[in-house]
């Protein structure tokens, strides 16, 4: 976590390495990319814009070489009351990212602590460079995770590992996070963004309707009983047979040629 500074500079940078991929970068190195209310506002707006852009199919969220996000600004929270948290909707950006209909990949180098860990957990995949560290240290300043840290860790790594991380506040390294199951891949240090972009390019070449259906079913199914989740999966599977992309994909497979998907 970090103390706050003033100012409303643009610290969330949006880049387009290719028209179909949006890279949203937090650039606040002097505060270790700490999540102030202003940073959260800019992140929310960047994700809303990327989701609304019909050209964008995948979003990559990243930070700096040493810090993905070092935490939430203590200065913002020190004198904040519970009612102010509600009024300012301080967890909105986490809901925005999690609800995004397009795949979101976190490219993490360095520390992802507190709100930074929760940002990564709100994404669909996490690519971490060696040396990256994930943690929920809120207990050390008298609070607890409040933007998904307890519940997403619980559902991702189970009760006993989640309890250890959250009750001790101790971070885990990228390799340990991978073994726990909440990091998708570990790359050499400094190559997380490159690998995330490669994954994004792979997804871009997949049928868009199937990509969206897979994300919807996975996210909804994790909170349903197995029978209900299987029913949801089956219905989505069947609906894809009414798409031209399904016909194109299977014809291309039989004809041994690359498919040309149209998202229809």
User: Phi first, then psi: what are they for 263, rounded to 5°?
Assistant: 75, 35
Gap between the Cα atoms of 56 and 249, Å rounded:
21
Tracing tokens 């925005």 back to the chain, one arrives at 96
Q: From its phi and psi, is residue 56 left (phi > 0), alpha (psi between -120 and 50) or beta?
A: beta
| Residue range(s) occupied by CATH 1.10.12.10 in the chain | 208-255
Specify which residues 69 forms β-bridges with.
Answer: 112
What number is the average pLDDT over the span 213-230?
95
CATH 3.90.226.10 in the chain, residues? 12-204
Q: 162 with 154: CB under 8 angstroms? A: yes
Region 102-121 average pLDDT:
97
The string of pLDDT tens digits covering residues 127-154 is: 999 999 999 999 999 999 999 999 999 9
Superfamily of domain 12-204: 2-enoyl-CoA Hydratase; Chain A, domain 1 (3.90.226.10)
Phi, psi of 113 (to 5 degrees): -120, 150
Q: Where are the beta strands (DSSP E) in 96-173?
A: 104-108, 111-113, 125-129, 133-135, 172-173
- CATH superfamily, region 208-255: Lyase 2-enoyl-coa Hydratase, Chain  A, domain 2 (1.10.12.10)
Query: pLDDT-derived band of residue 71, with 50, 70 and 90 as boundaries?
Result: confident
pTM: 0.92
Residue entry with tokens 């795949």: 103
């Amino acid at each position: 976590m970090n103390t706050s500074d003033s100012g409303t500079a643009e610290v969330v940078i949006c880049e387009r390495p290719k028209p179909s991929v949006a890279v949203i970068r937090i650039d606040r190195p002097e505060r270790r990319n700490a999540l102030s209310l202003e940073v959260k506002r800019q992140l929310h707006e960047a994700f809303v814009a990327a989701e609304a852009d019909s050209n964008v199919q995948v979003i990559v969220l990243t930070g700096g070489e040493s810090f993905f996000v070092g935490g939430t600004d203590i200065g913002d929270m020190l004198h904040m009351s519970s009612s102010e948290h509600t009024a300012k909707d301080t967890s909105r950006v986490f809901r925005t990212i999690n609800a995004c209909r397009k795949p979101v990949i976190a490219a993490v180098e360095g520390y992802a602590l507190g709100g930074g860990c929760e940002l990564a957990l709100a994404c669909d995949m996490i690519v971490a460079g060696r040396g990256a560290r994930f943690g929920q240290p809120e207990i050390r300043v008298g609070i607890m995770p409040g933007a998904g840290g307890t519940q997403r860790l619980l559902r991702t790594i189970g009760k006993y590992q989640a309890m250890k991380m959250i009750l001790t506040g101790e971070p885990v390294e990228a390799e340990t996070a991978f073994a726990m199951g909440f990091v998708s891949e570990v790359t050499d240090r400094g190559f997380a963004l490159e690998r995330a972009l490669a994954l994004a390019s792979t997804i871009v070449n997949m049928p868009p309707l199937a990509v969206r259906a897979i994300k919807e079913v996975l996210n909804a199914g994790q909170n349903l009983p197995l029978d209900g989740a299987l029913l949801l999966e089956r219905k989505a599977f069947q609906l894809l047979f009414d798409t031209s992309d399904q016909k194109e994909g299977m014809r291309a497979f039989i004809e041994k040629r690359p498919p040309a998907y149209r998202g229809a």
